[in-house]
Each structure stands twice: as C-alpha cells, then as structure tokens.
Amino acid sequence: MRMPSRTRPARIAVAATASLFALGLASAPSALSLEEPKAGHPSELFLKHCAECHGADGKAQTEQGKKLKAEVFADKGWREKKRSKADKLVNSVLNGHGKKMPSFKDKVSPEEAKSLVEKDVLGDWK
C-alpha cells in the first residue's frame, strides 16, 4: 500500500536519521563544533597565533622559536612556576612582553587570551 504524498517525505527523513544513528554518524562531532581542546592538543586559536614560535607541540623548536628563545610550554616545571602568574601571561598575550613577545590585542579578545593561557599555555602538554 502506498503512503499519501504528504507523509512520504517525513518517513524518508525518519529513515535517513535512523540510518545515520545506526552508523554512528549523527553523534560524531562536526568540523564546526566548539569543543574544548583535549589535554595535550592545542586549540585552533593557539595554532593560529602561537605555534609559529612556541610550536604546535609546545616545545618551541620552530625556526622562529629557536631564534627568539621562546618559552617551552611543554615543560611541566615552567608551567608549575607560571600557574600562579596566569594574569601576567594574559597581559603578555594582549600587550606583548619585551622585544620577543608581540602584542596580540588586535588579534584576540581578552577572553580568548585568558582561554589561551588557561587551556593551552598552562594546559597539559603530553
């Protein structure tokens, strides 16, 4: 028996959604998801603004990082010493520090700078 035309698209949509769930695709994160970065994995913001000097792995072994002797965020001892100075690190991101660290206040918001420091700079690098 054929379904009336007005309910057929709804049945097709339900069937398609059920198929996606069965395949596990409906629950997979999309490329546009704003999930928190996982421990040891830098955020897109870090990769865009910080990795050139500090390295995507936090080890500062990039050409620019070596030249400027950039801080090594992957060093647990360094992070432990700096944890109580997170506000100063946020200030360095926004306003720069000395001749080596440029200001990023025109590229990141204060909230983004705080997130970079808390989750990426002082986060768990593995």
The pLDDT tens digits for 5-44 are 555 555 544 454 444 444 443 333 333 334 444 544 699 9
What are the structural domain ranges in the chain?
A: 44-121
Spell out the residues 6+ positions from residue 124 whose beta carbon is closer than 8 angstroms to its own.
39, 40
Which residue type, as a one-letter code, is found at position 82?
A: K
Check whether 3 has a pLDDT greater than 80.
no
Element (H, E) at 10: helix 8-23
Indicate the pTM of the whole model: 0.66
Q: Read off the tokens for 31.
A: 């490329």
Architecture per CATH, domain 44-121, reads as Orthogonal Bundle (1.10)
Which residue, chain included where needed, has tokens 């409906």? 26
Q: pLDDT (tens digit, 9 = 90+) per residue, 64-88?
A: 999 999 999 999 999 999 999 999 9
pLDDT of amino acid 10? 52
pLDDT at 87: 96
